Amino acid sequence: MELSVFNDASKDKSMTIIEKWKVKLEDSGILVVIGGHDSPSPRGVGYSKNQAIAQSSGSYLCFLDSDDAMMPQRVRLQHEAAVRHPTSIIGCQVRREPPNSTERYTRWINQLASDQLLTQVFTSHGPTVVMPTWFCSREWFSHVGPFDEGGQGVPEDLLFFYSHLRKGGGVVRVDQSLLIYRYHPKAATHSVLETTIWTHRVRFLEERALPHWAAFTIWNAGRQGRRLYRSLMAESRRKVVAFCDVDENKIKKGFYSYEDSEERPKPRVPILHFRAARPPFVICVKLDLTGGAFEDNLRSLHLQEGRDFLHFS
């Protein structure tokens, strides 16, 4: 075991605390490598992670953010999984602190089925195993990485996750809670704009999923569905044969007219009841928000996730 710590210009007592722990850990046979800089401002999460990896020497990498805490068995259990899945990112279930801070997100993290770890990679939740739980071989990290070093406002974990999937990487979760995942307003993740993440998600959807479909339906004729339609490249937009919904008022309108289009005539996309629409669907309805009504409607169609529909919201 080796602990690699990188201090990204912190102005608190972090270094004093780490130096005390270095003595204790090395007395227990755990090598501690400490790096950092004291520039006036931090270089960012991506840079710091890359530096922590570069200064370390282990064959496997176990990531831990400074505001989280991990269980004693985490390294052992994730290492066992990584040996079995050498080209996968290994995650785990988490315990959120405070417990009720992000209930829907925490349920999603902990309850995705193994196949959904690959089919739900387009949602607004981001990577299907959250970055503070990642564990992988150094060899695989070097094949995929490094992290983007753009600094504040860059979703370096999402960009790395997409690169990992492009290279054929797998996603595996150890189904035990091995991390205390702390939520607080100053977390670095809050510095990334929703519009930035949206743009990356739409492009990844167009790159990875939409080429396999000759035509598709957007499930949600409301704001989110229309936003997705407008965000698509012209080639992808032409594949949208309909919107579908359950809202009778939207369905009564009959169609959505894309007024900002430079095409003539302007595209008019039919709005159908979901039972009258044809798969495949890109679903722009947030899960776990309708008391189970949406999920019941989707199940009633007996579709296969990944082949017949993908979640985007």
CA-closest candidate to residue 171, choices 201, 132, 128:
128
Taking residues 181-201, report their average pLDDT: 87
Query: According to the model, what pLDDT value does residue 261 have?
Result: 85
Cα–Cα distance, 251 to 185 (Å, whole number): 40
Query: According to the model, what pLDDT value does residue 290 have?
Result: 87
Burial annotation 244-266 (CB, 10 A radius, 16+ → b, else e)? bbbeeebbeeeebebeeeeeeee
Taking residues 180-203, report their average pLDDT: 89
Dihedral, 136, 141, 142, 145 alpha carbons, nearest 10: -170
Per-residue model confidence as pLDDT tens digits over 57-67: 999 999 999 88
Query: According to the model, what pLDDT value does residue 188 have?
Result: 65
Q: Check if the beta carbon of residue 102 is closer than 8 Å to that of residue 287.
A: no
**Alpha carbon separation from 213 to 83, 208, 267 (Å, rounded):** 35, 11, 20
Q: Does residue 193 carry a pLDDT above 70? A: yes
C-beta pairs of 155-158 under 8 Å, 24+ apart in sequence: 155/126, 155/192, 155/196, 155/197, 155/200, 156/44, 156/45, 156/46, 156/49, 157/126, 157/127, 157/131, 158/126, 158/127, 158/197, 158/200
Q: What is the pTM of this model?
A: 0.95
User: SS3 for 191?
Assistant: helix
Query: According to the model, what pLDDT value does residue 89 have?
Result: 98
Burial of 162 (0-12, 13-18, 19+ CB in 10 A): buried
**Alpha carbon separation from 122 to 154, 205, 270 (Å, rounded):** 17, 7, 25
Residues of the chain above pLDDT 90, percent: 90
C-beta pairs of 60-65 under 8 Å, 24+ apart in sequence: 60/135, 60/136, 60/137, 60/138, 61/134, 61/135, 61/136, 61/137, 61/138, 61/141, 62/134, 62/135, 63/131, 63/132, 63/133, 63/134, 63/135, 64/132, 65/131, 65/132
Per-residue model confidence as pLDDT tens digits over 125-179: 999 999 999 999 999 999 999 999 998 899 999 999 999 999 999 999 999 999 9
Q: How confident is the model at residue 260 (pLDDT cuts 50, 70, 90)?
A: confident
Q: How confident is the model at residue 35 (pLDDT cuts 50, 70, 90)?
A: very high
Cα–Cα distance, 275 to 222 (Å, whole number): 17
Average pLDDT value for the chain: 95
Per-residue model confidence as pLDDT tens digits over 84-124: 999 999 999 999 999 989 999 999 999 999 999 999 999 99
Cα–Cα distance, 280 to 305 (Å, whole number): 10
Query: According to the model, what pLDDT value does residue 277 have?
Result: 98
Q: Check if the beta carbon of residue 153 is closer than 8 Å to that of residue 196.
A: yes
